[in-house]
Amino acid sequence: MSKVKKILISGGGTGGHIYPAIAIANELKLRYADAEFLFVGAQDKMEMEKVPQAGYQIKGLWIAGLQRSLTFKNMLFPIKLISSLWKSKKIVRQFKPDVVVGTGGFASGPVLQVASKKGIPCLIQEQNSYAGVTNKILSKKVAKICVAYEGMQRYFPSDKIVFTGNPVRQDLLEVSTKRAEAQAFFKLDTNKKTLLVLGGSLGARAINQMIENNMKALQAQNIQVIWQTGKFYIDEYKKFNDLDGVQTHAYLSEMNLAYAATDMIVSRAGASSVSELCIVGKPVIFMPSPNVAEDHQTKNAMAIVNKNAAIMLKESEKELLMTKVQYLLQNQESVNQMCKNMTALAKPEATKRIVEEIEKIAKWN
């Protein structure tokens, strides 16, 4: 009788780290129905809610990153790190994983550090075109690094890199068949165009302010809006639900239906969002966050814009939103080509490729 496979997955802090981790777990579960899974995250972050919702057990570490300025939180960092390493040792010792997967975020550092030291095969999945500090440190210790952008040998040992693309929710592969169901789900007027606004799981103040400032213009164009404000901003913007054709959401749990219902999208350019939008293949206006390490969201967006597959709007150009929207409404032939170019960049098999690499380092095939 073969031994039950045990898989430890660590990553979190944002949806961009959590959803790839869940997608990888789901694919592994399809292949190994009796496998045991355990997630490790930061104890006060969104993974503590989202991972159990996906049906997996999670343990939390007392860990956070260094702040850019001198704060009390920074003084606590060494204590948190020691605490997290100690707890990670206990988790690894008790769970006895066959393989460990890290998808980024501060919690993955102590876990993969401990596991790799014990000789347990480890794999990193790096979503961005710019590698985070945790993954750069871990890259010397892990067996494989799955990446979504070319040129990542700037950060990682080239012999460990596998170009796979980013994992995405598998229900996105069926978006094109779900339009009628999606319009009914969101109670949309099928005679109007729909704009989907995405600021990431926590929200984006600049995007929310831009939509607020252009709401009258959008309504004048007969455009209805599905607006994900993020949990930090919902109380400020839920008053817009009183307007005809406008709905605000702190969070959209049915992302496949949100994508299926829409005609155009305004979005941040986090790596997971970019990967999802390539598969969805709808007209996109990217507004990258300028407040991230090495401005990597702009680099993510430009990789798509340079292939004539999307439009980019800097935060400093947000008064040009309606000009961009008008372009999407009035240039159907160009927009159709843009959507084709976007779809050509998609990597729908990314999750399967990553799982194949996990199987290799775990010696399951």
Q: What is the predicted pLDDT for the residue at 67?
A: 45
124 touches 112 (CB < 8 A): yes
> Are 6-167+349-362 and 170-344 in the same CATH fold?
yes
Q: Which residues pair with 248 in a beta bridge?
A: 227
The whole-angstrom separation of Cα 104 and Cα 308 is 29
10-residue mean pLDDT profile of the chain (365 residues): values are: 86 83 95 96 86 92 58 60 80 96 88 94 92 87 93 94 90 91 96 93 87 95 95 92 94 93 95 92 95 84 94 93 94 96 93 97 90
Burial 283-295, CB ≥16 within 10 A → b, else e: bbbbbbbeebeee
Tokens coding 101: 């997967």
Q: Residue 147's Cα: distance from chain center in Å?
A: 14
177 known ligand binder: no
Residue 54 φ then ψ, to 5°: -85, -5
Secondary structure (3-state) at 253? coil
**85, HSE (Cβ side, Cα atoms, 13 Å):** 10
16 in a labelled binding site: yes
- DSSP assignment of 21-46 equals HHHHHHHHHHH-TT-EEEEEEETTST
Domain boundaries, the chain: 6-167+349-362, 170-344
193-198 and 36-42 strand pairing: unpaired
Topology given in CATH for the domain delimited by 170-344:
Rossmann fold (3.40.50)
Q: What SS3 class is residue 115?
A: helix
What CATH homologous superfamily does 6-167+349-362 map to?
A: Glycogen Phosphorylase B; (3.40.50.2000)
Annotated binding residue 201? yes
CA gap 175, 2 in Å, rounded: 38
Is 15 labelled a binding residue?
yes
Q: Is 172 helix (H, G, I), strand (E, B) or coil?
A: helix
- At residue 66, the pLDDT reads 45
If we measure between CA atoms, which residue out of 166, 192, 110 comes closest to residue 345?
A: 166
User: Is 247 labelled as part of a ligand binding site?
Assistant: no
Name residue 37's beta-bridge partners. Answer: 7
Annotated binding residue 289: no
Torsion sign (Cα): 199, 200, 202, 204 = negative
Instruction: Give the predicted TM-score (pTM) of the model.
Output: 0.84
Q: From CA 137, how far away is CA 170, in angstroms rounded?
A: 31
14 is in an annotated binding site: yes
pLDDT at site 169: 80
DSSP result, 266-332: EE---HHHHHHHHHHT--EEE---SSSGGGHHHHHHHHHHTTTS-EE--GGGGGGHHHHHHHHHH-H
pLDDT at 64: 62
Would you state the pLDDT for residue 134? 83
